[in-house]
Amino acid sequence: MPLLSPCDGRVVAIADVRDPTFSAQLVGPGVGIEPVDGRQVVVAPADGKLLKLDPHAFILLVDDSVGVLVHLGINTVRLEGRLFDVLAEQGQSVQAGEPIVAWDPSKITDPDMEGTVVVVLMDQAADSISSDVIGRDIVAGTPLFEWR
Protein backbone atom coordinates (compact mmCIF):
# COMPACT_ATOMS: atom_id res chain seq x y z
CA MET A 1 0.00 0.00 0.00
CA PRO A 2 1.42 3.42 -0.88
CA LEU A 3 1.82 6.19 1.65
CA LEU A 4 1.83 9.70 0.22
CA SER A 5 4.09 12.58 1.10
CA PRO A 6 2.45 14.90 3.63
CA CYS A 7 4.44 17.94 2.43
CA ASP A 8 6.77 19.35 -0.22
CA GLY A 9 10.50 18.87 0.26
CA ARG A 10 13.53 16.62 -0.19
CA VAL A 11 13.29 13.03 1.07
CA VAL A 12 16.07 11.77 3.33
CA ALA A 13 16.74 8.31 4.73
CA ILE A 14 15.48 7.80 8.27
CA ALA A 15 19.07 7.05 9.34
CA ASP A 16 19.97 10.64 8.37
CA VAL A 17 17.28 12.26 10.54
CA ARG A 18 18.95 14.19 13.38
CA ASP A 19 16.94 12.58 16.15
CA PRO A 20 18.25 9.31 17.61
CA THR A 21 14.80 7.93 18.38
CA PHE A 22 13.74 8.25 14.75
CA SER A 23 17.09 7.47 13.10
CA ALA A 24 17.44 4.23 15.09
CA GLN A 25 13.89 3.31 14.00
CA LEU A 26 12.77 2.88 17.62
CA VAL A 27 9.29 4.09 16.68
CA GLY A 28 9.31 2.22 13.36
CA PRO A 29 10.61 2.49 9.80
CA GLY A 30 10.09 5.61 7.74
CA VAL A 31 11.72 8.57 6.05
CA GLY A 32 12.42 12.22 6.69
CA ILE A 33 11.42 15.14 4.50
CA GLU A 34 13.39 18.38 4.59
CA PRO A 35 10.54 20.78 3.81
CA VAL A 36 10.76 23.66 1.39
CA ASP A 37 10.92 27.15 2.90
CA GLY A 38 7.70 28.98 3.53
CA ARG A 39 4.27 28.07 4.78
CA GLN A 40 3.39 24.41 4.30
CA VAL A 41 0.04 22.70 4.52
CA VAL A 42 0.73 19.20 5.81
CA VAL A 43 -1.76 16.65 4.47
CA ALA A 44 -2.88 13.16 5.41
CA PRO A 45 -0.57 10.57 3.80
CA ALA A 46 -3.41 8.04 3.48
CA ASP A 47 -7.08 7.52 4.22
CA GLY A 48 -7.60 6.91 7.93
CA LYS A 49 -8.66 8.21 11.32
CA LEU A 50 -6.73 10.83 13.29
CA LEU A 51 -5.99 8.80 16.39
CA LYS A 52 -3.87 11.56 17.97
CA LEU A 53 -3.49 15.18 16.87
CA ASP A 54 -1.08 17.66 18.41
CA PRO A 55 0.08 20.85 16.68
CA HIS A 56 3.55 19.36 16.00
CA ALA A 57 2.56 15.74 15.25
CA PHE A 58 -0.28 13.42 14.40
CA ILE A 59 -0.95 9.69 14.28
CA LEU A 60 -3.17 8.43 11.48
CA LEU A 61 -4.72 4.99 11.96
CA VAL A 62 -4.71 3.29 8.56
CA ASP A 63 -6.66 0.11 7.74
CA ASP A 64 -7.85 0.06 11.38
CA SER A 65 -4.53 -1.51 12.33
CA VAL A 66 -1.40 0.51 11.50
CA GLY A 67 -0.41 3.85 12.97
CA VAL A 68 1.38 6.35 10.75
CA LEU A 69 3.21 9.04 12.71
CA VAL A 70 3.80 12.37 10.98
CA HIS A 71 6.10 14.46 13.18
CA LEU A 72 6.64 18.08 12.12
CA GLY A 73 10.20 18.99 12.96
CA ILE A 74 12.77 17.86 15.49
CA ASN A 75 12.24 19.04 19.09
CA THR A 76 9.31 21.20 17.95
CA VAL A 77 7.17 19.98 20.84
CA ARG A 78 8.98 22.75 22.75
CA LEU A 79 7.20 25.34 20.59
CA GLU A 80 4.00 24.47 22.50
CA GLY A 81 1.86 24.96 19.41
CA ARG A 82 3.44 28.19 18.20
CA LEU A 83 4.05 28.21 14.40
CA PHE A 84 1.31 25.61 13.85
CA ASP A 85 -2.31 25.97 12.72
CA VAL A 86 -4.33 22.79 13.30
CA LEU A 87 -6.79 22.29 10.44
CA ALA A 88 -8.44 19.01 11.49
CA GLU A 89 -9.77 17.39 14.65
CA GLN A 90 -8.62 14.41 16.68
CA GLY A 91 -10.91 11.44 15.97
CA GLN A 92 -11.81 12.75 12.52
CA SER A 93 -11.76 10.41 9.51
CA VAL A 94 -9.71 11.92 6.69
CA GLN A 95 -8.90 11.17 3.08
CA ALA A 96 -5.39 11.08 1.66
CA GLY A 97 -4.35 14.63 0.76
CA GLU A 98 -6.71 16.29 3.24
CA PRO A 99 -5.10 19.23 5.15
CA ILE A 100 -4.19 18.44 8.77
CA VAL A 101 -1.76 21.14 9.99
CA ALA A 102 -0.24 24.29 8.48
CA TRP A 103 3.12 25.66 9.59
CA ASP A 104 6.19 27.53 8.42
CA PRO A 105 9.34 25.54 9.25
CA SER A 106 11.55 28.40 8.05
CA LYS A 107 10.42 30.40 11.12
CA ILE A 108 12.19 28.02 13.51
CA THR A 109 14.97 30.03 15.16
CA ASP A 110 16.09 27.71 17.98
CA PRO A 111 19.36 25.98 16.97
CA ASP A 112 18.24 22.83 18.82
CA MET A 113 15.22 22.50 16.52
CA GLU A 114 14.87 21.84 12.83
CA GLY A 115 12.07 21.47 10.33
CA THR A 116 12.56 17.88 9.13
CA VAL A 117 9.18 16.17 8.84
CA VAL A 118 9.37 12.51 9.87
CA VAL A 119 6.91 9.94 8.51
CA VAL A 120 7.03 6.61 10.35
CA LEU A 121 5.06 3.38 10.13
CA MET A 122 4.71 2.71 13.85
CA ASP A 123 5.75 -0.57 15.45
CA GLN A 124 6.52 -2.28 12.13
CA ALA A 125 9.60 -4.20 10.98
CA ALA A 126 12.38 -2.21 9.31
CA ASP A 127 11.89 -4.14 6.06
CA SER A 128 8.14 -3.45 5.91
CA ILE A 129 8.61 -0.34 3.75
CA SER A 130 10.43 0.54 0.55
CA SER A 131 11.01 3.90 -1.09
CA ASP A 132 12.56 4.91 -4.39
CA VAL A 133 12.45 8.65 -3.68
CA ILE A 134 15.26 8.96 -1.09
CA GLY A 135 17.41 11.95 -2.05
CA ARG A 136 14.76 13.37 -4.37
CA ASP A 137 12.40 16.32 -4.22
CA ILE A 138 8.78 15.41 -3.60
CA VAL A 139 5.43 17.17 -3.68
CA ALA A 140 2.67 16.65 -1.10
CA GLY A 141 0.24 13.96 -2.18
CA THR A 142 2.70 11.97 -4.31
CA PRO A 143 3.95 8.46 -3.36
CA LEU A 144 6.52 8.51 -0.55
CA PHE A 145 6.92 4.82 0.26
CA GLU A 146 5.20 1.46 -0.06
CA TRP A 147 4.41 -0.69 2.95
CA ARG A 148 3.51 -4.33 3.12
pLDDT band, residue 64 (cuts 50/70/90): confident
107-142 pLDDT per residue, tens: 999 999 999 999 999 999 888 999 999 999 999 999
Asked whether 113 and 73 are in contact (CB, 8 A), the reply is: yes
Q: What is the average pLDDT value for the chain, to the nearest integer?
A: 95
Give the three-class secondary structure for 30: strand
Q: Which positions are annotated as active-site residues?
A: 71
Which residues constitute the domain of residue 143? Answer: 2-147
User: 82: Cβ–Cβ under 8 A, 6 or more apart, which residues?
Assistant: none
Positions of E strands within 36-130: 40-43, 48-54, 57-62, 66-74, 84-86, 93-94, 99-103, 114-121, 129-130
Domains: count for the chain: 1
Across the range 41-52, mean pLDDT stands at 98
**CATH number, domain at 73?**
2.70.70.10
Given a cut of 90, whether residue 105 has pLDDT beyond it is yes
